[in-house]
Amino acid sequence: MAKAPVTVTVTGAAGQIGYALLFRVASGQMLGPDTPVRLKLLEIPQAVKAAEGTAMELDDCAFPLLDGVDITDDTNRAFDGTSVALLVGARPRAKGMERGDLLEANGGIFGPQGTAINEHAADDVRVLVVGNPANTNALIARSHAPDVPPERFTAMTRLDHNRALSQLAAKAGASVTDIKKLTIWGNHSATQYPDIFHAEIAGKKAADVLGVAPDGSGGAAADDHQWLTEEFIPTVAKRGAAIIEARGASSAASAANAAIDHVHDWVLGTPEGDWTSAGVPSDGSYGVAEGLISSFPVVSRHGRWEIVPGLEINDFSRARIDASVQELIDERETVRSLGLI
Ligand SMILES: NC(=O)C1=CN([C@@H]2O[C@H](COP(=O)(O)OP(=O)(O)OC[C@H]3O[C@@H](n4cnc5c(N)ncnc54)[C@H](O)[C@@H]3O)[C@@H](O)[C@H]2O)C=CC1
Ligand SMILES: O=C([O-])CC(=O)C(=O)O
């Protein structure tokens, strides 16, 4: 028997990421080749026409799995019956705006969207926040949805994870498929910590392959600790800014790709013997303050993210995880003081 269509809501549908994302969702790359999708596109009134143009192109693809497209500027209607909510639309940082201003502007978007999800979404709703600052926007949305299990609100760090995979593979002369158990910890910001100390390259410990010792004492090659601290970590953490510099616009296709990967793995499971990274509500694991939406090593089993337990954290990693988590604590304090959570 054919499966029932799954309702997927995309906010900011007329934006750059929306344009790169919708066609892949409609083609079945996110939920699998046997799951029809019904799309709901939310935009601000000025961008509804552009979203209609995208919907015309979706029609023109004649995707067999696309069961319908609904375009609206009404938040309640956009989340009616939704099972997958991709919160992409956000207020971009304008010139002269402080981080607090940005958080406040986004509170005006993610608070009402959380409320609408609480009231109108399907019982199995899963939420992925892409719009920046993604972790704290997810926290704001979640705090407005008391009837939705908290673990259904997640923030995207899969793009950072994929960037780290690619950088590590290039350094090791390996394929990305040879690399397992890489982790992004903390915030989707320049403080994030891409951790290679549990990673494996073709079954061997990445730190051994690369001669990187956690205390900087060197290994096979003295330069490799420097590669970790001065190349790998900053390249991954500042990749978004480097793309903006090069392209004149922020990452769009790679961000859409990461959103597809995140939801695909959440719904359909992560492969055995590996894990990925996602911003999920902390249960206090690894000393991360409970309730923060922080990036962790995660697997998905039976449709739920689980934080990978029991990893040993060396002092090098500890300091970097703590710094990124502190930034999340500070953002939480700011939105609390603004009455947004
Ligand atoms: N977590 C991550 O790894 C990444 C996050 N991002 C973030 O994703 C967000 C979107 O990026 P782009 O698509 O490139 O931006 P964009 O500016 O091209 O598109 C954003 C769209 O959101 C819409 N929008 C604004 N407020 C809205 C609201 N209240 N409801 C519905 N739609 C609304 C705008 O009209 C616009 O069409 C940005 O915040 C960006 O910083 C981008 C790359 C990676
Ligand atoms: O900084 C931005 O707006 C884009 C972003 O999050 C990224 O590419 O990681």
> pLDDT digit string (tens) for 231-287?
999 999 999 999 999 999 899 999 999 999 999 999 999 999 999 999 999 999 999
Q: Which of the four pLDDT bands, split at 50, 70 and 90, describes residue 91?
A: confident
- Do the first three CATH levels of 6-155 and 158-332 match, i.e. the same topology? no
Residues 108-124 pLDDT 10s: 999 999 999 999 999 99
For the chain, the first-to-last Cα distance in angstroms comes to: 44
- Confidence band of 92 (pLDDT split at 50, 70, 90): confident
Q: For 137-163, how does the pLDDT look when each residue is reduced to its tens digit (9 = 90+)?
A: 999 999 999 999 999 999 999 999 999
Distance CA(125)–CA(273), nearest Å, equals: 27
Probe residue for ligand 2, chosen from 88, 132, 184, 257 as the CB with the greatest number of ligand atoms within 8 Å: 132
Domain segments of the chain as ranges = 6-155, 158-332
Annotated binding site for substrate: 93, 99, 132, 163
State the ligand closest to the CA atom of 112.
1
For the record, the structure tokens of 200 come out as 């494996």
Q: Note the pLDDT of residue 222.
A: 56
Question: How many residues are recorded in the chain?
Answer: 341
């911003």: which residue's tokens?
279
* CATH node for 158-332: 3.90.110.10
pLDDT band at 102 (very low <50, low <70, confident <90, very high): confident
Strands, E assignment, the chain: 6-11, 37-42, 66-72, 84-87, 126-129, 153-155, 179-180, 183-185, 193-195, 200-201, 204-205, 276-281, 293-301, 304-307
Gap from CA of 251 to ligand 2 centroid (Å)? 6
CATH of region 6-155, choose from 3.40.50.720, 3.10.105.10, 3.20.20.70, 3.40.50.2300? 3.40.50.720
The complex scores an ipTM of: 0.99
